[in-house]
Structure 1
């Protein structure tokens, strides 16, 4: 008899506990800044010859270079940066765009860019060109023809909406192997990116702190 009397009560308690568990909000994963060193982005041609060669693809979720045809966010070849969103530009050997990722440049320091503003527009690659413009002074870098040195423009931060609809911010620190502070363009190997980035692994969360 006692068992029969208490069964409804136990059922109600179990339902309440189940509902309570469902209502709990999972804690957000921590956003951390990471520096990736010496991402090699070789190219062939140039100096009047057609530029070719595979792009080096990077995935923010894993924090690694990838050979995947689909699971990549941005890709590098020489000083050119592609994003996995939009359409092909017509460039030789460029990767197929398989996602809806986007990218843009904002002005500020890495530390000061703490969130994605509501009015931020993300661009994609297209037949009109890459979302991040190429050429000295047009996008993320300057090229000094007197010294033959390519340098990141201070205060240029890349914002990326990734293939899985999360967000990352990127500051390119160097274009030369081991990021030398005093660059010798005849000795230091170029097309080696060192950059720091913060990736928010929480879906659609726009902050980096």
Structure 2
């Protein structure tokens, strides 16, 4: 009996390992940029007594999708086109875009042309961006918790009020305009280190962002990455 249980456990472990490897391989389509475990403000905490962390507000930071780099001096660079998306709020979980015309954007008053909309399709199924006019009409300004009153059913993650664990929304992709006005698509995959399939531990290391995106450099709305 013990031998049988051991064999079953081994088979299950191999199946889980293969599944994780397959899912990871699916991220790399040859066209998209994949960012893994990009640390946010990992020194901040919502509570006292968390090892290695300080109870304080999370510091904002920006990300340049073309250079694949973080911009942490937000005060100096907010109103420039050196960033495309920003991470703000609790656990840096709210994603904002760089828009010089949107009062809700840190880039308000600058040259940024950013817009962002939610598409109820998986990343690979999003092959064309909406028209510029449609994006302007449906612009969300930011995406975060799916239950946020001002952006209900357009967020990138669900938040369990009992476990306090964030779970990415499946089958939802974000189409955006970069700071310089190019169409792009974005899938935010995880806020936890290692991009785990399931998180059950409230103290799992976070925020460590895994996401992928594709920028159409020719100016067209073609976002096909298949």
**TM-score, L = length of structure 1:** 0.68
Task: State the aligned residue count.
Answer: 168
Q: How does 1:42-81 map to 2 (within 5 A)?
A: 42=41, 44=44, 52-67=57-72, 69=77, 70=80, 71-77=82-88, 78-81=92-95
2: CA distance, partners of 1:111 / 1:175: 21
Which structure is higher in helix share?
A: 2
On the 8 A contact 2:168/2:189 being kept in 1, the answer is yes
What residue number does 2:127 align with?
114
On the 8 A contact 2:96/2:143 being kept in 1, the answer is no
2: CA distance, partners of 1:123 / 1:55: 27
2:222 counterpart of 1:207: yes
What residue number does 2:37 align with?
38
1:169-208: per-residue Cα shift (whole Å, max 9, x none)? 0111111011112313334112221011111122x21112
Unpaired runs of 5+ residues, structure 2, are: 1-29, 48-55
> Alpha carbons of 1:123 and 1:189: their partners in 2 closer, same or farther (altered >3 Å)?
farther
- Greater radius of gyration (CA): 1
2: CA distance, partners of 1:57 / 1:160: 15
Structure 1 residue 75: Cα displacement: 0.6
Structure 1 residue 46: Cα displacement: 5.1
Unpaired runs of 5+ residues, structure 1, are: 1-30
Which structure is higher in strand share?
A: 1
Structure 1 residue 114: Cα displacement: 0.5
2:161 counterpart of 1:151: no
**TM-score, L = length of structure 2:** 0.64
On the 8 A contact 1:74/1:81 being kept in 2, the answer is yes
SS in structure 1 opposite 2:208? strand
2: CA distance, partners of 1:156 / 1:193: 17
2:121 counterpart of 1:105: no
> Alpha carbons of 1:123 and 1:75: their partners in 2 closer, same or farther (altered >3 Å)?
farther
Q: RMSD across aligned C-alpha pairs, in angstroms? A: 2.9
